[in-house]
Structure 1
């Protein structure tokens, strides 16, 4: 009778953490790649001004998230090793999304529309709470971008999907230490 190997208790293949870390890196690369080619997707009913406004809003959202990272890092410099790589990706997202975005409209009373700086976000005194707030902001923005891509033309939808995926991976990585 042939002998069969006993099953291992560990699963073959990469661990979930390494998959998500790789997903965050590849999503950032995909954002840069799709952001570099803004050649249009051939959709006849695509409105350049609507697309530019959608890009501008997404860029503004990334800049606000970048401001949240900066505020947390200013309040908790010891988190730099953990947050700097994610902050760097958020900065890249803001840059890529700003390319081809509409210039700000006439002042409408909101701080970001009038060109004045947005108010500094409040940061919890506890580091864990500050990181949880960042994770929550990443999750909410990823969800918002997922909804926005439904109305976006194909090229911008791919970009928003990549940035949303990166944001979801960031949220996961930020909360991974809590477990």
Structure 2
């Protein structure tokens, strides 16, 4: 009776050892701190995203203010939407204010007073329906950008951006459907 030859023991490291070593090395390289901060840049990336979101909300507030200045009759339907945009700006600027990167404030939340010195006058459409479409386009564009950007930020900021994006999409719907 013949027996099979004995199994050869491979010389050198095993495949699992090589894969584990390569993975460990990649993790060490990927987790090393970058020039932004001690935590690999997460905090400064988060703060920059938060400040940008506050500035974006500020720009949207300026559009609302310009439309309200050009079409005072739209104050009743626009005031609640504008107040929510102001709340978003405050929420995004809240943490940025603690780090000194707060976005500028144009008008007190809830006030429909246009900002005279903050930026050049926006070209608001002459008709009310077109002015609402102007705001709807701005809301939709910002909501889409926030939905995309929230994938690049951590936890609470991602949730805040998702909430603001959902509100912006709802505003766009109300501005277009409410105008019909």
- Common fold, TM-score beyond 0.5? yes
Structure 1: distance between partners of 2:88 and 2:130: 25
Structure 1: distance between partners of 2:52 and 2:121: 19
Q: CA deviation at 1:178?
A: 3.5
Q: Is the 8 A contact 2:67 2:124 kept in 1?
A: yes
Q: Does residue 69 of the first structure (1) align with residue 47 of the second (2)?
A: no
The equivalent residue for 1:100 is 95
Q: CA deviation at 1:120?
A: 2.6
Q: Is the 8 A contact 2:57 2:86 kept in 1?
A: yes
TM, length-normalised to structure 2: 0.66
After the TM superposition, which segments of 4 or more aligned residues of structure 1 sit over 6 Å from their partners?
Answer: none
Larger Rg: 2
Structure 2: distance between partners of 1:103 and 1:159: 20
**Cα deviations across residues 84-126 of structure 1 (Å, max 9, x unaligned)?**
0000000000001001125459xxxxxxxxxx83323210111
The equivalent residue for 1:32 is none
The equivalent residue for 1:159 is 160
The equivalent residue for 1:170 is 171
TM, length-normalised to structure 1: 0.66
The equivalent residue for 2:80 is 85
Q: Which runs of 5+ in 1 are unaligned?
A: 1-43, 106-115
The equivalent residue for 2:45 is 50
Cα distance change, pair 93–48 in 1 and its aligned pair in 2 (3 A)? same
The equivalent residue for 1:147 is 148
Cα distance change, pair 136–70 in 1 and its aligned pair in 2 (3 A)? same
Q: Is the 8 A contact 2:132 2:179 kept in 1?
A: no
Q: Which runs of 5+ in 2 are unaligned?
A: 1-38, 103-116
- Alignment RMSD (CA, Å): 1.8
Structure 1: distance between partners of 2:174 and 2:41: 36
Aligned residues: 126
